[in-house]
Amino acid sequence: MSPVQIMNKRRLVFFVIMVLIGFLYLSGCRRAGQWLVKDDMPAHADAMVILMGNFPEKVLQATDLFRRGIAGSVIIVEESMGAYRALEERGVTVTGKTEQARDALVTMGVPGENITILPGDARSTLTEAMVVRDYLSTRPDLDTLILVSSPPHMRRASMIFRKATAGSEWPVYVTCSPSAWSDFNAGRWWREKEDIQDVLSEFLKIVSFRIIEKRRLKD
């Protein structure tokens, strides 16, 4: 085989390898949205934890689960009000998202006594997990939880809550139920700006949790 033929063969092998790498990369990127949407809801759980943020789709999902008898109680960690507190101090009446979520649940048929709001001034999923972890230390009867959130948030939420409850005195089984009311398209996430933002944001936050934030769970 001549030097030219050897060079051409190497170029061909290199080209095939690059095409294969590109295919695997694109295939992985296409599945990125689906990987984020963790869904492993059990037939029955002791409680649901509604994670705050854009709450309407999550409240609708929790209500549907309650009506189906999947879980009979709901836990919500009080969300940080931020500058809204300053408005209240100036005489402005503000209804926070936590209260709005509770009122919506009650309106749709979830009894108020089945809803537990935990004080926490939560600013992140990590804070919510820490507050719920501390609450569970006083409730040995609650050992199976369903996290209810937006679909792209589920993978990271599961990581955080499982890490937070790993050191509990008794095993806590954390599961996920992504909201069916979300517009997120896991299979075609790259076609919509909002979905692209959600996917990229979640992957960055997962990296941040793995490298930095998980240390706070030891506090």
Query: pLDDT tens digit string along 108-122?
Result: 999 999 999 999 888
Residue 46 C-alpha from the chain's centroid: 19
Q: Mean pLDDT, the chain, as a whole number? A: 87
| pLDDT at residue 219 in the model | 58
Higher pLDDT, 144 or 169: 144
Q: How far is CA 63 from CA 107, 112, 114, 131, in A?
A: 10, 13, 12, 22
Contacts of 155 (CB under 8 A, 6+ apart): 35, 36, 37, 38, 202, 206
Residue among 31, 49, 24 at smallest CA distance from 139: 49
Helices (H), the chain: 3-30, 32-36, 56-67, 84-89, 97-107, 125-136, 154-165, 193-211
Least confident of 23-32, 92-101, 136-145: 23-32
Contacts of 61 (CB under 8 A, 6+ apart): 148, 177, 178, 179, 180, 181
| Cα(219)–Cα(200) distance, integer angstroms | 29
pTM: 0.84
Encoded tokens for 33: 């949205």
Higher pLDDT, 157 or 122: 157
Asked whether residue 77 carries a pLDDT value surpassing 50, the answer given is yes
Q: Across residues 89-114, what is the average pLDDT? A: 89
Least confident of 10-14, 22-26, 202-206: 22-26
